[in-house]
Copies of this chain bind each other. A is one copy, B any other.
Amino acid sequence: MEALKTAIKEHGTVLPGNILKVNSFLNHQIDPNLMYKIGKEFAQLFQTAKITKIITVESSGIAPAMMTGLALNVPVVFARKSKSLTVRDDVYTAEVISYTKKTNNQIYIEKKFINSDDHILIIDDFLANGEAVKGLLQIIKNANANLTGVGIVIEKSFQPGAQYLRDQGIIVHSLARIKSLANNKVTFMND
């Protein structure tokens, strides 16, 4: 997706530890017009699938997920994070490790918002090690719901998450695929 790659090239900053900082348009300040285009792009990529629901994780996944939900005309559910979830039998939960923030979170979705009739599209802003997506897959499994695919705004293809998902036969569409952040430079997969 060219508009996204242009934004990454113009406004992205590479920090030590293979971190790509794109918080001027994606995950702190948000460019709503770019996000709207991102939503329409995901909707087109998954248009032949009968998606009934989009799920993501707070906070950075909410903007792209909602714009995709608007384009596909389906509800969006964002999993909430909790450090210490009290035991509740009305939620599906999963463990998510964040390597960037060095934290361990539980994520949860209320059971009433996901069921075995659902065909689910997972949307997230970044895919690196894939921990957030794995957590959402666990919740989908627990709910006996059906996974349609995964839509990612920025895939760090040099980290294992995307390959892990594709190796399992999961359809992953990423709008920008980054081959390398070496030497403080963003290199895309098809450059």
Contacts and interface: CB of A to CB of B under 8 A. Distances in A.
A23 interface: yes
A77 interface: yes
Contacts of A77: 28-30
Interface residues of A, number: 30
Interface stretch (A67-75, A152-160, A167-175): A67-75
* Overall SS of chain A's interface: mixed
Contact of A75 (B29, B67, B109, B113): B29
Contact of A23 (B67, B69, B73, B110): B110
A45 B25 CA distance: 25
A76 interface: yes
Nearest to A109: B28
Contacts of A67: 32, 66
